[in-house]
Structure 1
Amino acid sequence: MKRSHKSFLIFLITVIAIITHTLLYSSLNKGYFNLTELRKKLQNYAGQLKWVISGQVSPATTMTVKGPHPTTEPGIFFLQTSSELNPKPLVMCSIESAARLNPNKPVYFFMKAFTGNVSAFREPEYKAIPLLSSFKNVIILPLNPKELFNNTPLAGWYEKVDPSKEGYWIHVLSDGCRLALLWKYGGIYLDTDTISLKPLEFQNFIVAESANYASNGILGFNRSHPFLENCLTDFVEKYNGAVWGQQGPKLITRNLKKLCGTDNLNQFLNKECKGIGYVPNYLFYPIPYQSWRQYFEKNRWNKTNDAIEKEFSKSNAVHVWNFLSGHQKHDIKGSQSLIEYFYQKYCPSTYGTLSN
């Protein structure tokens, strides 16, 4: 038997052992079969299968996980393109709230600096990774842009671009990654400063940020959607890293106008344009960016009234505009601000980690 065949047989035996162990352990200790846990374990072996089938077998490659990926099931995606390994509470709250409100949907958190070993990040030094990984539907994965952009129009651009010369590199990289993720896997993308208030449904949609201007901070698309392919092509052809938003909301806006054949997107609010819903800003951006300080104003509520529930009853989520608010330090616990209310109700585990 050839070496590659032997390795493949070893891999199959390993997978069978994992399944057997999971079935027995679940039946003895929990009384049910946890498919989510099994899927996570199998994902960790997916890279090995790739190497074995290709015949590139060696002691190093058979023991290395190469790029665990989302499953074919649509998911909710979050991205962190910086080198941060201890995300801020707002990031934690965004992911926690999405996980709690969508318990049957996988919630993926891609981190550029993450190595793939959750157990290496322990409290008290690290808070976010241990907390988020405790949710069964949260899957934390390394972000490898080169691998993600492979077989997309962004592959050549990424090889040539020089991050050291880019003024908005973290944002530009995030703009490209969210398009590639949705195009390859399908689902919903949410910025890491978006606190979910309601469950989300998978559908093709773009959110209006302001009058005649679309957002790329929240997007929903089926896998391989042609609109996304057009956006990926436009990203490269009209690339200008010196202009903030050129590859972000401005890209989405100009491509949506082109698709709909109009310079006035407002006429499509609450309607569909060729199968893509154009939803009003109050669903995700109830407070516009000019008024971001409203989230942090003190004494906006007390424990006995429901004014906030009424105020945001039509919203699926709130975008907190961290690009603006993140430059300042804000007291949350005890402030009776909107942001404290959302933390308490929608991400209580994160709220518990905040200092007074």
Structure 2
Amino acid sequence: MLRKLKILLLIILLLIILVFGLLKTSLKKKHKYLKELLVSGSLGSYSSLAEDTIIKDDILFVMGTNTISHGSDSASTSRPISPYTVLNQGNGILFVETTEKRNPSSLVLCAIESAARVYPDRPVAFFIKGLNDITTEEEENRTRISFPTLSSYKNIYFFPLRMEELFMYTPLITWYKRVLPRWERFWTHVSSDACRFAMMWKYGGIYMDTDVISLHPVPTNNFIAAESFKFTSSSVFGLSPFHSLTWEFMQNFVENYRGNYWGYQGPRLFTRVMRRLCGNLKFKSVDDNVTCGNVSYLHPERFYPIVSSSWKIYFKVWQNLPTFNKSYGLHFWNYRNNEQETMVPGSNTLVEHLYQQHCPSTYGSILKKKVPSGV
């Protein structure tokens, strides 16, 4: 009897230790999440404070001002920096690279440079999987030196892409922990699809693929773009942080995951969610203001004046250059460029004119042979 009692007490003790461990882990996660919300300004009151609030080991620290002033050199380079301190206004322009590449093509550089020029008062964040950790402005400045073509733009920031950390506290984390990348046929693409949803949920702003050249600012904050009159685009969209539509996208991504089908987690996901929530949205003209709730649905002309089947004409000589006055940006359909068409200086092609006008630093680096011309 005494022996059974000892065993019972031992079991109870082990259960107490287990429960205590789980509570401690949960508390740490909650504190981390609270830190993210505080730094991002999503708790409301933080945005009116003049101090950074950091939670570490259950202690609240106050660390000076948190405002990042684009273009200012007066701040100490040892100050902490993170996506939350840079993107805390919810108006960032977001790009992502899900491979280990650290030497972007000229088209990627042009896309980021053109965005920095079109949105000079907004932070442009490039998340790259292959980067080392960046926690201070000094580390970010050192990373910036690795991208000399973009280094002169003070509103461009570089951050490492840490997928598990990015997906935490979203529906995507369960998918990420069970998926096996080596068995995924289109892992680079589906992981990019997932990243754009998580970034939009946590940071808000505008997401663009790295083959979208910006021409003019989008005049609305919450928007989805039509790729054609049949499909919705996944290459560019804008929403405020923690928007309910982004949550719908993430849930659909996980619940209807079919990674072996090209585009199923990208444009087809956008298309099926928008149809379910908004029905068949139709346009009468390019300027037609089509909305679903508080989200604008943009005409295909806004980003896709050149359709997928005609992508090669970007690399042709035009007798009369198009103005693209109705477009906010141009999607280059780079996934179709299996023939490795490039921007050739002196070719007088449409793509050369676009580089000259919208990403002059990138174009100049190509002329100096500091950047390969390939897209």
**Cα distance in structure 2, aligned partners of 1:40 and 1:195:** 33
Distance 1:266 1:352 in 2: 42
Distance apart, 1:121 and its partner CA: 5.5
- Report the Cα offset of residue 160 of structure 1: 1.1
Which residue of structure 2 aligns with residue 275 of structure 1? 294
Is the alpha carbon distance of 1:284 and 1:80 closer, same or farther for their aligned partners in structure 2, counting shifts above 3 Å?
A: same
Structure 1: which amino acid aligns with 2:292? Answer: C
Gaps spanning 5+ residues in structure 1: where? 23-32, 48-65, 302-306
Residue identity matched to 1:279? L
TM-score, normalised via structure 1 length: 0.77
Give the length in aligned residue pairs: 304
Check if 1:288 corresponds to 2:307. Answer: yes
Please state which structure has a larger fraction of its residues in helix: 1
In structure 1, the residue corresponding to 2:235 is in which secondary structure?
A: strand
Offset at residue 36 of structure 1 (A): 4.8
Give 1:109's aligned residue.
126
CA drift of 1:76 comes to: 0.7
What SS is found at the alignment partner of 1:232? helix
Q: CA deviation at 1:71?
A: 2.3
**Cα distance, 1:275 vs structure 2:** 1.7
TM-superposition CA deviations, 1:80-105 (whole Å, max 9, x none):
11111010000000010110111111
Letter in 2 for 1:343: Y
- Superposed displacement of residue 353, structure 1: 1.3
1:134 corresponds to: 152
Structure 2: distance between partners of 1:89 and 1:168: 23
Secondary structure of 2:80's counterpart equals: helix
1:265 alignment partner in structure 2: 281
- The share of aligned pairs that are identical, in percent, is 39
Please give the alpha-carbon distance, in whole angstroms, between the structure 2 residues aligned to 1:71 and 1:172: 26
Q: Secondary structure at the match of 2:127?
A: strand
Contact 1:183–1:228 (CA under 8 A) maintained in structure 2: yes
CA distance in 2, matches of 1:69, 1:144: 17
**Bigger radius of gyration:** 2
Match of 1:45 among 75, 80, 92: 80
| Closer/same/farther in 2, CA of residues 38 and 277 from structure 1, 3 Å limit | farther
CA drift at 1:326: 5.6
* Paired position in structure 2 for 1:353: 365
Cα offset, 1:166, TM superposition: 0.5
Aligned residue for 2:356? Answer: 344
In 2, are the aligned partners of 1:166 and 1:241 still within 8 Å (CA)?
yes
Q: Give distance in 2, aligned partners of 1:81 and 1:192.
A: 11
Structure 1 vs Structure 2 CA RMSD? 3.0
> CA 1:166–1:68 in 2, change beyond 3 Å: closer, same or farther?
farther
Q: Describe how 1:167-178 pairs up with structure 2 within 5 A.
A: 167-178=185-196
Q: Distance between the aligned counterparts of 2:141 and 2:244, measured in 1?
A: 39
With over 3 angstroms needed to count, the CA separation of the structure-2 counterparts of 1:221 and 1:245, relative to structure 1, is same
1:40/1:149 CA distance change after superposition, 3 Å? farther
Query: Do residues 79 (structure 1) and 96 (structure 2) align?
Result: yes
Compute the displacement of 1:267 (Å).
5.4
CA distance in 1, matches of 2:364, 2:103: 16
The 5 A counterparts of 1:149-228 are: 149-228=167-246
CA contact (8 A) 1:94 1:192 kept: yes
| 1:335 positional shift | 1.0
What are the residue-to-residue correspondences of 1:296-315 with 2, within 5 Å?
296-297=315-316, 299-301=317-319, 307-310=320-323, 312-315=324-327
Q: CA deviation at 1:38?
A: 6.4
Deviation at 1:39, TM superposition (A): 7.4
User: TM-score when scaled to structure 2?
Assistant: 0.73
Unaligned segments of structure 2, at least 5 residues: 1-55, 370-375
Residue 162 (structure 2) pairs with residue 144 (structure 1): yes
